[in-house]
Amino acid sequence: MDSFSTVIRAASHEQHKEANTSTFMSDLLGGRLGVDAYARYTEQLWFVYEALEAGAERLAADPVAGPFVRPELFRLPSLERDLAHLRGPGWRAGLSALPATEAYAARVRECAERWPGGYVAHHYTRYLGDLSGGQIIRDRAERTWGLAKKGDGVRFYVFEAIANPAAFKRSYRELLDSVRADELERQRVVAECKRAYALNIAVLRALGEEFPLSA
């Protein structure tokens, strides 16, 4: 029988690929969009991570979600430094969520408040995704818009407290495998992972509509 982490990874493989090859992400990584599009994307991430991390302290003692609450993963302070660099010191005043982002953040918050297993699903799709594929975005951002290497503007993608990302991801998957849940609950968590990807793809689609590539 496959491990829980393997089942989750396999179940969301196609959606993971769809997110990475969305029109907006393809244009962003291809250097065809300006830094404003990158800043707008960073703003949307702020809303999602604010929802993820606002409830983290309360979940720290939870038997299911608690082991995943790792301060070395927290992204909100880095996102805020990036936005201050990209948008200026008054970045909060201009901060706005797309409707798709509001729906995504609302679902994350709902899981954080009512369903620890669902919170783990969102935690997994975001943090492990940014620890892995996020490094490609960082590299492109540094090269395309002249942002300082691992500096302000791309700090979100720099996990300074994680010395060995490969070892960390292995230990994270071991945590997933040890989640105390019956088969039905595990199926619900897998379904929520897929929902998380769908919510993320909706945000990328909305960004693609806001930043259509001129012909």
Q: In this structure, how many other beta carbons lie within 10 angstroms of the beta carbon of residue 8?
A: 25
pLDDT for 156-187, tens place per residue?
999 999 999 999 999 999 999 999 899 999 99
pLDDT for 123-155, tens place per residue?
999 999 899 888 899 999 999 999 999 999 999
- In this structure, what DSSP letter does residue 127 have? I
State the pLDDT at residue 82. Answer: 98
137-140: Cβ within 8 A, 24+ apart: 137/28, 137/29, 140/28, 140/29, 140/31
What is the spatial distance between Cα 80 and Cα 83, in angstroms, rounded to a whole number? Answer: 5
With 60 as the cut, is the pLDDT of residue 38 above it?
A: yes
With 50 as the cut, is the pLDDT of residue 6 above it?
A: yes
State the pLDDT at residue 11. Answer: 83
**How much is the average pLDDT of 76-103?**
97
State the pLDDT at residue 215. Answer: 41
